[in-house]
Amino acid sequence: MGSFANFIQNMDWWGGLTLLVSAVAALLCIVLHELSHGFVAWRLGDPTAKSAGRLTLNPLKHLDPLGLLMMIIVKVGWAKPVPVDMRYFKHPKSGMAITALAGPVANFLTSFASIALSSLIVRLPPFGEAEVVLLCFLSNLALLGVGMGLFNLIPISPLDGSKILFALLPDRMYYKVMRYEKYAMGLIVVLMLLGVFDRPLTFLMVHVLHFFCSITGMPLGSLLAFQDLSYLFSMFG
């Protein structure tokens, strides 16, 4: 009993709460990403995602547990793909490319909005606990949004970037490649675990975040530091 009490007393509560906030931010990034795919496909004439119940904010409809875990641990990940039937599109290849692009665009817009709101909050002290937790959430949302957007733009099947790039292929080659794309996800996971994407993604993430921060007036160093609730409470608590 005494050892359990010591465990509770020594537990890093701020670290646990930060992890929870990061998980919620990751879920929101996933939902908006997949919802955007489904919505754009529906607007282009494909009812498949709508019929499957994927035009929803319910995270359980979009969640891929491994993709969520990767987002929390390495800040990039994926969701359960929204079903799309390109035969409904008036122009199948371009329709598929636009649908694929919608997810990363939604993530970048979410990240930019999060940074803009963070910039506004830090200019309006005093800070209470709610504002501190909100800043942590927005910082995680900004970083995860950019990470998910960039990761999904990698032109390796079945990521969104491949569907955009493949739209440039001749029809015969395009449909042949698309037929086998579902088998490539294992390769993506292996490459992530080996850290193949770490350096280029980190480089791009920093530059995209710096660009968003320069527009909103938010210091990039502060945005990155705000991911940690312990740091935030030491500043504003």
What is the dihedral angle through the alpha carbons of 116, 41, 92, 109, rounded to the nearest 10 degrees? 0
Please name the amino acid found at residue 119.
S
Residue 77 to residue 190: CA distance in whole angstroms: 13
E strand spans, 70-198: none
Q: Catalytic amino acids?
A: 34
E strand spans, 98-226: none
CB 45 within 8 A of CB 168: no
Please name the amino acid found at residue 36.
S
Q: How many CB atoms lie within 10 A of CB 10?
A: 8
